Amino acid sequence: MKTTKKYGEKIDLALSMWVKLARAFSVFNKKTVDQIRTFNLTEPQFGVIECLGHLGTLPIGDLSSKMLMSCGNATVIIDNLEKENLVERIREKSDRRVIKIALTEKGNDLFNKIFLEHAEYVAKLASVLTESEQQMLSILLKKLGHSVREMV
């Protein structure tokens, strides 16, 4: 039996938490990405469709910010979705430099068809936890994320 090196109770606890968090995310993410692929979409493409489906038309900068990606990466994803006639670029009439991204009718139909199925799948994966545990985990992850983001 392999033993791990000890670094002190506080550090050992933090490391154990981090490993469990990383492993849980990895497994959860793989399952959801595999399910998204059944829609013939990549994870970023699904994310763009989901974001626009919930928030409506957005400037490309806002969309990339919400998706936690660079504008350059968002542009490539949008180009591919545009080729499939799932999204369209709309130039702002008052400022032609501003380009907004919107779902096309086909994109909106796809969003309406697949999102509930995806949401139900995520709920199924999370169902090992009670609703109370899911709420607590959400609170703790938000707290951890905000705290780490603020660290230098």
Helix (H) or strand (E) holding 140: helix 131-150
The dihedrals phi and psi of 91, each to the nearest 5 degrees, come to -80, 135
- pLDDT tens, position by position, for the chain (152 residues)? 566 788 788 999 999 999 999 999 999 999 999 999 999 999 999 999 999 999 999 999 899 999 888 888 889 999 999 999 999 999 988 888 889 999 999 999 999 999 999 999 999 999 999 999 999 999 999 999 999 888 86
**Residue 2: inside a domain, yes or no?**
no
- The CATH number linked to 67 is 1.10.10.10
Classify 100 as helix, strand or coil: strand
**Residue 48: inside a domain, yes or no?**
yes
User: What's the structural domain count of the chain?
Assistant: 1
- What are the DSSP calls for 33-60, one per residue? HHHHHTTT--HHHHHHHHHHHHH-SEEH
Axis crossing angle, helix 105-126 with helix 43-55, rounded to the nearest 10: 110
Helix (H) or strand (E) holding 90: strand 87-91
Provide the domain limits for residue 15: 9-150
